[in-house]
Amino acid sequence: MATPVKVHGPPMSTAVSRVLACLLEKNVDFQLISVNMAKGEHKKPEFLKIQPFGQVPAFEDGGVSLFESRAICRYICEKYADKGNKGLYGTNPLAKASIEQWLEAEGQSFSPPSSVLVFQLAFAPRMKIKQDQVVIKQNEEKLSRVLDIYDKRLGETRFLAGDEFTLADLSHLPNTQYLVGVSGRGELFTSRKNVGRWWNEISSRDSWKKVVDMQKKSA
Amino acid sequence: MAAIRLHGTPYSTAVARVLTTLYEKELEFEFVEIDMKAGEHKKESFLSINPFGQIPGFEDGDLKLFESRAITKYIAQEYADKGTQFKCGDSKTAAIIGVWMEVEAHQFDPVASKLTWELALKPRYGLATDTAIVEENEAKLAKVLDVYESRLAQSKYLGCGCFTLADLHHLPCIHYLLGTQAKKLFDSRPHVSAWVDAITARPAWSKVLALQKQQG
């Protein structure tokens, strides 16, 4: 029987891998459907029907069609609340409020500079695009300031939203994996004691190891 | 003393997002003005509410929160039975509302904020507008609004048939942009234009504008 949950996009996409990590944490079966981005499949009318901005991932679960990785993750956590990691999106309103706060911090403060760095350091070379050193330096400075705040926070709590691993931490995995693993800018994270400890913990989770494996296999 | 305290300045787009939600929900709250010029948002007492040193900071009793979109969600959830309901339909609709909230945060706001800064705010501070940035971001905003135009041809509001946080979150930047040359991008798209008219006509939004005039 075909599973109703479908994720459209390549595992090496940071946004796609965010959704994959969430599905694996929640033990939800899914089908990964490839999108040939090199051939511009994501800009074609067929794909634009399920993602009007022409980006990956697109997501389907039976009759529900969604996009935007963080919205997809929230949906997965709500719909499959009783499966897998039950505390991923909080089990009470106060826990949820804290998770939402740090999920927004990821989206608004961490993601902008780290996404630029991931593109410049990990993807541009592969795509034979020239790196912009000024842009790299500016965004390293921005990210450093954000990570200073994270280091203080992670000295007070084990994970960002509290003492349990949540969606807020998970959301950071994709970009950080590239920066620590591939780009040689790992010391931004590892030189900060609490951030380094946090990164080791969250990246060692089975669900994330599976995602990294999927990325390697599809490369 | 009200249990709810909102720290910031009313003309900040992020603060205005929370103010609108509080008015929509008809909640009592205390507005604590932060003196940005004096760097009050970087001082320890404020950093204990928002470690990023940005406004707004929010308190409800002992709960402290930051990030305007997390705060509005909390208010909508905690005070679900008060004021505007912000929903219509079931959990499937709720998921789609969630999608368009992310669209505002990641497709609309990055571009609209840059234009707001260049066209609406820099002139107020006597700073020169960067026309290259304006041109680049007007082109980006046009593409985003093309998607909105298609969406709003099928749905009265972005998330569903009624006004939700997905629409509300746009108000502060849209208001600024309507006072600039970027207004044409909204006016030239009939469904977007009708949607803008509807959301900016809401009484709660007028209350925010009144507060901005008072303290401006």
The verdict on A131 and A147 lying in the same domain is: yes
Quote the DSSP letter at residue A26: T
Whether the CB of A63 is below 8 Å from some CB of chain B: the reply is yes
Long-range contacts of A69-73 (CB under 8 A, 24+ apart): A69/A15, A69/A16, A69/A18, A69/A19, A70/A18, A70/A103, A70/A107, A70/A171, A70/B102, A71/B95, A71/B98, A71/B99, A71/B101, A71/B102, A72/A19, A72/A22, A73/A18, A73/A19, A73/A22, A73/A167, A73/A170, A73/A171
* CATH entry, B4-84, from 1.10.3710.10, 3.40.50.300, 3.40.30.10, 3.40.190.10: 3.40.30.10
Whether the CB of B26 is below 8 Å from some CB of chain A: the reply is no
Residues of A whose CB is below 8 A from B77: 93, 96-97
H-run or E-run covering B140: helix B131-154
Q: Which of A159, A162, A139 is nearest to A205 (CA)?
A: A159
The complex scores an ipTM of 0.96
Q: What pLDDT does A181 receive?
A: 87
The verdict on A103 and A178 lying in the same domain is: yes
Instruction: Answer whether B74's CB lies under 8 Å from A100's CB.
Output: yes
Instruction: Tell me how far apart the alpha carbons of residues B30 and B3 are, in angstroms, rounded to a whole number.
Output: 8
Q: What pLDDT does B1 receive?
A: 57
Q: What pLDDT does A182 receive?
A: 79
Q: What pLDDT does B215 receive?
A: 74
Q: What pLDDT does A2 receive?
A: 66
In a domain, A193, yes or no: yes
Listed residues A86, A109, A141: the one ending a domain:
A86
Q: What pLDDT does B123 receive?
A: 94
B42, B74, B93, B109: best mutation site toward chain A, by most A Cβ within 10 Å?
B74
What architecture is domain B91-203? Up-down Bundle (1.20)
Task: Identify the closest residue of chain A to B62 by CA–CA distance.
Answer: A94
0.80 surpassed by pTM: yes
Instruction: Tell me how far apart the alpha carbons of residues A50 and A186 are, in angstroms, rounded to a whole number.
Output: 36
The verdict on A37 and A123 lying in the same domain is: no
Whether the CB of A64 is below 8 Å from some CB of chain B: the reply is yes
CATH number of the domain to which A30 belongs: 3.40.30.10
Q: Are strands B57-60 and B63-66 parallel, antiparallel or unpaired?
A: antiparallel
The maximal CA–CA distance of chain A, rounded, in angstroms, is: 52
Q: Which of B216, B168, B177, B176 is nearest to B195 (CA)?
A: B168
Collect the ranges in chain B with pLDDT lower than 50: none
Whether the CB of B51 is below 8 Å from some CB of chain A: the reply is yes
Residues of A whose CB is below 8 A from B101: 71
The verdict on A114 and A64 lying in the same domain is: no
Two tokens, residue B88: 């219509």
Q: How many C-beta atoms lie closer than 10 Å to residue A2's C-beta?
A: 6
Find the distance separating the first CA and the last CA of chain B, reported in whole Å. Answer: 25
Instruction: Answer whether B46's CB lies under 8 Å from B7's CB.
Output: yes
Name the domain count of chain A: 2
The verdict on A113 and A202 lying in the same domain is: yes
**The dihedral of CA B164, B165, B169, B171: what is its sign?**
positive
Instruction: Tell me how far apart the alpha carbons of residues A152 and A157 are, in angstroms, rounded to a whole number.
Output: 9
Beta bridge partners of B64: B59
3-class secondary-structure state, position A195? helix
Q: Which of B136, B127, B117 is nearest to B180 (CA)?
A: B117
Q: What pLDDT does A184 receive?
A: 76
Residue spans of alpha helices (H) in chain A: 14-25, 45-48, 69-79, 93-105, 111-118, 133-156, 167-170, 173-181, 187-190, 193-203, 206-218
In a domain, A176, yes or no: yes
Two tokens, residue B91: 């959990």
The verdict on A61 and A143 lying in the same domain is: no
The verdict on A129 and A203 lying in the same domain is: yes
Listed residues A86, A107, A134: the one ending a domain:
A86
The verdict on A80 and A97 lying in the same domain is: no
CB spacing of B98 vs A75 below 8 angstroms: yes
Beta bridge partners of A66: A59
Whether the CB of B149 is below 8 Å from some CB of chain A: the reply is no
What residues have CB less than 8 Å from A46, skipping those under 6 apart?
Answer: none
CB spacing of B98 vs A64 below 8 angstroms: no
pLDDT in tens, chain A (219 residues): 568 899 999 999 999 999 999 999 999 999 999 999 999 999 999 999 999 999 999 999 999 999 999 999 999 999 999 999 999 999 999 999 999 999 999 999 999 999 999 999 999 998 999 999 999 999 999 999 999 999 999 999 999 999 999 999 999 999 999 999 877 789 999 999 999 999 999 999 999 999 999 999 987
Q: How many C-beta atoms lie closer than 10 Å to residue B201's C-beta?
A: 9
User: What range does the domain containing A77 cover?
Assistant: 5-86
CATH number of the domain to which A195 belongs: 1.20.1050.10
CA distance A64 to chain B (A): 7
